[in-house]
Structure 1
Amino acid sequence: MVKPIKAVAAVALAGLALAACGGGSSGAAGDGGGKKVVISTDLPLQGASKDASDSTNNAIKLYLEQIGNKAGDYTVELKTYDNSTAAKGAWDDATCAKNAQEHVANTAEVAVMGTFNSGCAKIEVPVLNQDPTGPMLMVSHANTNPGLTKTWDPGEPQKYYPSGTRNYARVVTTDDYQGAAAAIYAQSKLGVKSVYILNDNQTYGQGVGKSFETKAAALGIKVIANEPWDAKQANYTALFNKINAAKPDMVYLAGIYDNNGGQLVKDKVAVLGDNAGAVKLMGPDGFTGYPELNKLPQAQGMYLTFAGLTTDQLKAGGGAAAKLLADYKAKYGVDPASNYALYGVAAVQVILAAIEKSDGSRKSVTEQVLAGTGVSIPADKAAIGKEIKIDPATGDTTAIDISVEVIKDNKETFVAAQTVS
């Protein structure tokens, strides 16, 4: 997975990487003095995640414009990468691997904001970690799989940091909390006594499904099964007929909407009935931020969790977050399509704070976040309305926020903040 790193370094040394800086789309950098640096986003810009990714990029561009594209004495340019393919309509392993090498090869680039999908991050982080001029920093706004930063599956998280030095951080909490919070809410508020879990057989889905299953069992909820769904199936009628025979109170979809989630939701309702009926439907943040899903008649009444504070909460909280959302709507005419948009800005704020304190090198930028006391963004400036603080020992945020939403009237509506105990 990471063998091509030496070839990348050779390309960089050959000077070809500087030409790459002109590719893709970017926000205009200011003309002020000091060194110019490039930061990037690495998101799926095609398929079902396009709306969420576009709104994240737009929010970041707006924020950079508002601060004059500056981080201390450094002028900052934004470069956007697409880690999806049209054929797949979602993030793609080979494209993530290619992007990782391009990040390293672009010698002007000092840090990456992303990725959206945890599986893509697990491909990219080890490549950035072996950058001979780094390691190169990645700060994610949306990765929730625990194994990127803490003990989870075998070999994690050490296998993502072959250099022995960490280079990855995130501004959202992890699925060991999200899955547990979803199970607590299902039991305490929805009265669920039995559940059938379907996972999309990917890194993220397996992780959040495992967390939900563990907590549900501990709470006394009967876990009938935790099995994968096949994203390539034309329909899931037979699957839901099998589930119907088991008589669960809830179906929990552990995965991402991109993996044929719309068909899954349609067939759940066709076989098991309306989501407000006897069999509830719930999913994690992999089903949030999809206007296409929200408009489905069969999705109405579906519960969702989000590993952070929702746009509704940020608006109500006022301050810097509410102002940025108001400015976003004034500029683009709509609210962000995803709750993750402002978390993208939050991740960029961490990167910019690191750049401001650094000597401009990749190694130094990474050290500002993942060594010493790390960086923090005060609540009155933070894009998420509360202090952003990264634990330099792990790269995890110190904030554990889980929100519960329901799809109602074709949109995601905040229901409750769920604590984890």
Structure 2
Amino acid sequence: MRADNGWVKRLLTAAVAVLLTAAAGCATTDDRARPAGGRTLVVALDLPFQGAASDTSESVANAADIYLDEIGAMAGPYRIELRRYDNATATKGSWDDATCVRNATDHVAATDEVAVLGAANSGCTKLQLPTLNQDPAGPMLMVSHSNTNPGLTKPWEQGEPEKYFPTGRRGYARVITTDEYQGAAAAQFAARDLKVGRCAVLHDNQTYGQGVAEAFAEEAARQGVTVLDRGAWDARATTYTALFQAVKATDADCVFLSGIYDNNGGQLVKDKVAVLGPNSGAVPLIVPDGFFGFRDFQRLPAAEGAYLTFGGLGLAQMKAAGGAAARLLADYRARHGSEPASAYALYGVQALQVILAAVARSDGSRRGVRDQVFEGTGVSVPAAQAMLGKDVRIDPATGDVNVRDLSVLRMTGGAETFLKAWPLP
């Protein structure tokens, strides 16, 4: 229950702060008795605040601000501030390689920062991790709410994940399901539910898109679906009519677009429908979570009927479950007059909860914060406080989260409508 009386609100805020500290495993009597106003530490938000992903990034930042207010901006004895970094450029309209690299250098140079929440895109994270990992005061902890490329935490492509951690000490964690599950689930859904037999698979030539496409294609073959193409689309193209005419010539009964909506996804979807017909017709369109949460995609008439996979749960499912997520969404609506652009806002808060649990147990240094996650038993957030509504634990050996959810949604009436949860192995 939300309280409007000031003294009740202060009591609730103090109680939540104590619960977070206790959940982090360090709430001794002495710690709880410390007054607020201790040393201030900064958590950086490294997100694309320009381009098609800006709505989602703003939602993540806004939700993080609200959560921090709710707990009194404290983690153990430390006062916490958030600092925004934009890793996108206006020219590119999405995350940018050089900007990601520069941001990583800036994180290391900002001596009051102890951890990074982000990046949103796996490709950006791969550029940043070696710099953060070699921080003389670290490694510096990074926790992502949306990175799904498997190679960040487990063997995938050559040299992964070791090449991201040159010191030999990991410093990266995430709170979301990875691509090998998402790509495989999308292929299973195409074969079992949509009953397709011949699917064109296209990617945006980036780390994320290639990874999901590979996982989809491998599972599709196991499901008896013929993969017709595994080429890339050019994000700078003005039209994809010829591309889809070539797909049409193969008699495809399915199209899987593996990549991010930022990479000219709107034009791609419009041309798919123009050449191959509506997504509710003979050639359904399936996209991964690189298209999830984009308001432009949701408003696009050509997107109607498209199927999406998302490596987590949607806002409606998290709200229906009640608990911490439902409370935060109520506060978000009260402050901003609407719901967040996507469920990534809640996953962003979940990543922040992991960071704050580590901070609360630490000595306040970068190395100390990182060590709480990757040494010993690691950190956890109990279900009563976790945005995911379940006990959330980070594996100290890999940085992966124990909670694995996956949803299939469909664009219906301009909204990402939950269709079903997909079982994971």
Same fold (TM over 0.5): yes
Amino acid at match of 2:113: E
Match of 1:343 among 337, 347, 355: 347
Task: Return the alpha-carbon distance in structure 2 between the equivalents of residues 334 and 197 of structure 1.
Answer: 35
Match of 1:196 among 195, 200, 207: 200
- The aligned residue for residue 85 of structure 2 is 81
Task: Return the alpha-carbon distance in structure 1 between the equivalents of residues 248 and 122 of structure 2.
Answer: 31
Where structure 2 has 5 or more consecutive residues not aligned to the other structure, the ranges are 1-34
Residue deviations 1:381-403, cap 9 Å, x none?
00122221111100001111111
1:321-340 equivalences under 5 Å are 321-340=325-344
- The aligned residue for residue 168 of structure 2 is 164
**Residue 260 in 1 paired to residue 264 in 2?**
yes
- Is contact 2:55-2:294 (8 Å) kept? yes
Amino acid at match of 1:53: S
Identity among equivalent pairs (%): 59
Amino acid at match of 2:179: D
Amino acid at match of 1:367: D
**Residue 141 in 1 paired to residue 145 in 2?**
yes
- Is contact 2:405-2:424 (8 Å) kept? no
- Is contact 2:42-2:115 (8 Å) kept? yes
SS of equivalent to 1:84: coil
Amino acid at match of 2:110: N
- The aligned residue for residue 41 of structure 1 is 45
SS of equivalent to 2:38: coil
- Is contact 1:305-1:402 (8 Å) kept? yes
- Is contact 2:177-2:404 (8 Å) kept? yes
| Cα distance, 1:32 vs structure 2 | 2.7
Match of 2:306 among 282, 302, 323: 302
Task: Return the alpha-carbon distance in structure 2 between the equivalents of residues 193 and 288 of structure 1.
Answer: 25
| Cα distance, 1:338 vs structure 2 | 1.3
**Residue 95 in 1 paired to residue 111 in 2?**
no
Task: Return the alpha-carbon distance in structure 1 between the equivalents of residues 185 and 39 of structure 2.
Answer: 45
1:98-177 equivalences under 5 Å are 98-177=102-181
Task: Return the alpha-carbon distance in structure 1 between the equivalents of residues 196 and 213 of structure 2.
Answer: 16
RMSD, aligned α-carbons? 0.8
Match of 1:402 among 387, 406, 421: 406
- The aligned residue for residue 359 of structure 1 is 363
Match of 1:373 among 360, 377, 380: 377
Task: Return the alpha-carbon distance in structure 1 between the equivalents of residues 94 and 137 of structure 2.
Answer: 31
- The aligned residue for residue 30 of structure 2 is none
Task: Return the alpha-carbon distance in structure 1 between the equivalents of residues 390 and 50 of structure 2.
Answer: 31
- Aligned residues between the structures: 391
Amino acid at match of 1:210: E
Task: Return the alpha-carbon distance in structure 1 between the equivalents of residues 324 and 398 of structure 2.
Answer: 27
- Is contact 1:180-1:420 (8 Å) kept? no
Where structure 1 has 5 or more consecutive residues not aligned to the other structure, the ranges are 1-30
- The aligned residue for residue 26 of structure 1 is none
Q: Runs (4+) of structure 1 moved beyond 4 Å? A: none
SS of equivalent to 1:224: strand
Task: Return the alpha-carbon distance in structure 2 between the equivalents of residues 420 and 39 of structure 1.
Answer: 32
SS of equivalent to 2:82: strand
SS of equivalent to 1:305: strand
Amino acid at match of 2:321: G
| Cα distance, 1:420 vs structure 2 | 2.8
| Cα distance, 1:254 vs structure 2 | 0.4
- The aligned residue for residue 13 of structure 2 is none
Task: Return the alpha-carbon distance in structure 2 between the equivalents of residues 274 and 77 of structure 1.
Answer: 47
SS of equivalent to 1:294: helix
Amino acid at match of 2:306: M
Of 93-102 and 176-185, more deviation after overlay is shown by 176-185
| Cα distance, 1:247 vs structure 2 | 1.1
SS of equivalent to 2:230: strand
Task: Return the alpha-carbon distance in structure 2 between the equivalents of residues 161 and 351 of structure 1.
Answer: 19
**Residue 68 in 1 paired to residue 69 in 2?**
no
Amino acid at match of 1:186: A
Amino acid at match of 2:246: K
| Cα distance, 1:261 vs structure 2 | 0.3
SS of equivalent to 1:90: coil
1:308-327 equivalences under 5 Å are 308-327=312-331
Match of 1:184 among 183, 188, 205: 188
| Cα distance, 1:248 vs structure 2 | 1.2
- Is contact 1:113-1:344 (8 Å) kept? yes
SS of equivalent to 2:239: coil
Task: Return the alpha-carbon distance in structure 1 between the equivalents of residues 90 and 236 of structure 2.
Answer: 16
Of 383-392 and 87-96, more deviation after overlay is shown by 383-392
Amino acid at match of 2:311: A
| Cα distance, 1:278 vs structure 2 | 0.3
| Cα distance, 1:320 vs structure 2 | 1.0
SS of equivalent to 1:183: helix
Task: Return the alpha-carbon distance in structure 1 between the equivalents of residues 236 and 205 of structure 2.
Answer: 12
